[in-house]
Amino acid sequence: MNNSFEPQRRIKELEENFLVQDWMDSVPLTARADNSVQELAELMAASHKENVVIVSSDNKPIGLVTLRLLLPYILSGEGSSPVADCLGKEDFIIIQKNEPLLNVYRNDSTWFVVRDESNKLLGVLNRNNISDGLSDLLQKADKLEHTAEILDIVLERAYEGVAVVDHNGIIIQFNDAYSRFIGIDKHYALGKQVEEIIENTKLHQTVRTGLPERGAIQYINGQAMVVHRLPLWKNGKVVGAVGMLIFEGLNELYKIYENMQKSYRSEQLTNEAANLNIESSARFTLDEIIGQSESTMHSKSLARKIAKKHINVLLTGESGTGKEMFAQGIHELSPFSTGRFVSVNCGAVPEHLIESELFGYDEGAFTGAKKGGKPGKFELAQKGTLFLDEIGEMPPYMQTKLLRVLQEREFERVGGLESIKTDARVIAASNRNLYEEVKKGNFREDLYYRINIVEIPIAPLRERKEDIPSLIAHYLTSICSKHQVEVKSISSEALQVFIQYKWEGNIRELRNVIENLVVLLEEEVIEKKHLPSYLLVETESRSIKGELPILKANDEEKEKQIINSSLEKNQGNKLKTAKELGIHRTTLYQKLKKYNLK
């Protein structure tokens, strides 16, 4: 193949893997044109959405309304006006579900309504969804051959302002959209220090710390802009960073909208906590799950695909990897999102109580039973999602009862005679290998296949080290905000220790370490010397054993020998070799190609 066509071929491959349907909100709010403005505003606030698609009687999209349009009517006392008065005032276009995301970038519309071949509504896409897709695409493009050519093509097709700097903070790529926005010629910007060109930028700091930032506010030309800043990693080192302008900052109407959301959510959670003590809706979406590693993106992609289907899902992975976050994300994208997300830890409920916990009980079922009885988790999750965490801990007799409920879609309360239909979706999770438990006779085989229509594995943190900088950035911001202290940064030396450490406790352990540092450390920068001693001892020990020199080796011949020795030791098994060396298998493949090792 002619090498000049290779970047274009790679772009086409990227386009085919970044489609509108993978990034849209697949459970949009809908309403009719005769609904009132007040009704729609209340619907949006209660559902935590910022738009409603107006549809015809046969569910074909005819318009889109945002809270930004509705609030002036409400504030002026015209909330009873029909929403038809607002139609045609919001900027949107209708697109197909299989449209490549890169094509949508070229259009400067704010909203995109997604339809199928029959013109039926499927979802909604906004500039923020698109930018999240772009940031993921840029990171994938950066791992391919012909990176420079691919990035050139991608950046010039993007509507958002995009700038790329090298490891010295010098602008090496700068698209026309950014040039137009700040009023500086693109060719003048190239080769300059980024802080000389872009007002209030922190891209040079992103290069220094290796910590990504998503949704940060940056003032440019007096306007509050929302930006992403993403480090570019190669061979364990930050070699540059990408900065993206997303959209203009929140105006006063959106601030009112945020306050309405908080008010509704607070009131709803307070009322339900008093009565049911469960979550009314999921706290996380898949987009909020942090990580750009190959395994994380694969798990998120798989979750998006099955979210819309009424099938049982099994999430597998070690404790602390974020299985419940994935369950909540699937719930939010599913047709069950209007119902509750109800979680049960099967290992935390005493064996003699788990049946009544799941199925509830009638009055007089046992000594101490409440008057009037009590609904179980299956009842509370009607038309919603029931998350059965650590299902491998469920006692055998309850496995039998659960299988019957999943097969017949009905159950009886403890002490009750009436059958109750259930239409809750079941998502199960386990930190055990359930297949091995089946072979040992500890878990019913028929139940295993019933809950495991689709399995989504979630890799431990030590196998997705690329996610660690993003997680650190997120937790530093959120934990500093929680404790009302200035946001701390982390030195590159300390960051390398975090990346090299094995994290047996996964994300839960990582968060614990960061919170400990935030609370106890008075300095603004977390240095290597501030880290817990056990982190330092283990990473130094692993370096001595030769597990990690590949991340630091400058001598290519030595690096080649280390890789070859590990390959021989593991009889050519690349996955085991990558784990032993403490690197991702993609990095290992690149090294094998570089050194022509078989």
Instruction: List pLDDT tens digits, range 508-557.
Output: 999 999 999 999 998 888 998 999 888 887 665 454 444 444 444 445 67
Query: Residue 318: its pLDDT value, please?
Result: 93
According to the model, what pLDDT value does residue 138 have?
A: 62
Residue, of 564 and 457, whose pLDDT is higher: 457
- The CA-based angle 513-515-518, given to 5 degrees, is 110
Q: Of 82-86, 151-155, 265-269, which range is least confident?
A: 265-269
Mean pLDDT over 571-584 rounds to 75
Whole-number Å distance between alpha carbons of 279 and 343: 8
At 46-59, the pLDDT tens digits run: 777 778 888 888 88
Average pLDDT on 165-174 reads 89
Which of 561 and 385 is assigned the larger pLDDT?
Answer: 385
**What pLDDT sits at residue 262?**
45
Q: Which amino acid is at 246?
A: I
* Percent of all residues in the chain with a pLDDT value above 90, rounded to a whole number: 24
> Which residue, 247, 12, 2, is CA-closest to 153?
12
The pLDDT value given to residue 409: 92
Average pLDDT, the chain: 79
- Whether residue 569 is predicted with pLDDT greater than 60 in this model: the reply is yes
Q: In DSSP terms, which residues pair with 490 in a beta bridge?
A: 526
**pLDDT band with cut points at 50, 70 and 90 for residue 173:** confident
pLDDT of residue 236: 65
Share of the chain above pLDDT 70, in %: 78
Q: Take residue 451 and report the two structure tokens written for it.
A: 């809950």
Beta pairing class for 313-316 and 425-430: parallel
Q: Do 53 and 64 meet the contact criterion of CB atoms below 8 Å apart?
A: yes
* pLDDT digit string, tens, across residues 175-223: 887 888 888 888 888 999 999 999 889 898 888 887 877 767 788 877 7
State residue 470's pLDDT score.
Answer: 84
Q: What are the structural domain ranges in the chain?
A: 3-126, 160-248, 278-457, 461-531, 549-595
pLDDT value, residue 232 = 78
More confident residue, 78 or 106: 78
Write the pLDDT tens digit of every residue in 424-472. Answer: 999 999 999 999 999 999 999 999 999 999 999 999 999 998 889 889 9
How much is the pLDDT for 99? 82
Write the pLDDT tens digit of every residue in 293-312.
888 888 988 998 898 888 89
* CA distance to 587, 590, 596, per residue, from 593 (Å): 10, 5, 5
DSSP SS3 for 343: strand
The Cα–Cα gap between 366 and 192 comes to 77
Buried b (16+ CB within 10 A) or exposed e, 362-379: beebeeebeeebbebbbb
CA atoms within 13 A on the CB side of 566: 26
The b-or-e profile of 400-428 (16+ CB within 10 A means b, else e) is: ebbbebbeeeebbbbebeeebebebbbbb
Arch. (CATH architecture) of 3-126: Roll (3.10)
What angle separates helix 6-17 from helix 147-157, to the nearest 10 degrees? Answer: 60
pLDDT value of position 283: 58
- Least-confidence region, from 119-133, 159-173, 414-428: 119-133
The CATH number of the structural domain formed by 160-248 is 3.30.450.20
Confidence of residue 492 (pLDDT cuts 50, 70, 90): confident
The per-residue pLDDT for 565 is 76
Predicted confidence at residue 13, as pLDDT, reads: 59
How many C-alpha atoms does 316 have within 13 Å on its Cβ side?
15
CB under 8 Å to 556, separation ≥6 — which residues?
595
Q: What is the pLDDT of residue 538?
A: 65
Distance between first and last Cα of the chain: 24
For residue 356, what are the contacts with CB-CB under 8 A and spacing of at least 6? 365, 374, 376, 413, 414
- The CATH number for 549-595, chosen from 3.30.450, 1.20.120, 3.40.50, 1.10.10, is 1.10.10
Identify which has the larger pLDDT, 588 or 138. 588
pLDDT at 378: 94
How confident is the model at residue 15, as a pLDDT? 57
Q: Which of 268-272, 303-307, 510-514, 571-575 has the lowest mean pLDDT?
A: 268-272
Of residues 159 and 499, which shows the higher confidence score? 499
As a whole number, mean pLDDT of residues 14-25 equals 72
Q: Is the pLDDT of residue 330 over 70?
A: yes
What is the third-level CATH fold of 278-457? Rossmann fold (3.40.50)
Between CA 315 and CA 136 the distance in angstroms is: 23
Least confident of 56-65, 173-182, 245-254, 574-583: 245-254
Q: How confident is the model at residue 386 (pLDDT cuts 50, 70, 90)?
A: very high
Lowest mean pLDDT among 146-155, 170-179, 239-248: 146-155
pLDDT of residue 80: 86
CATH of domain 461-531: 1.10.8.60
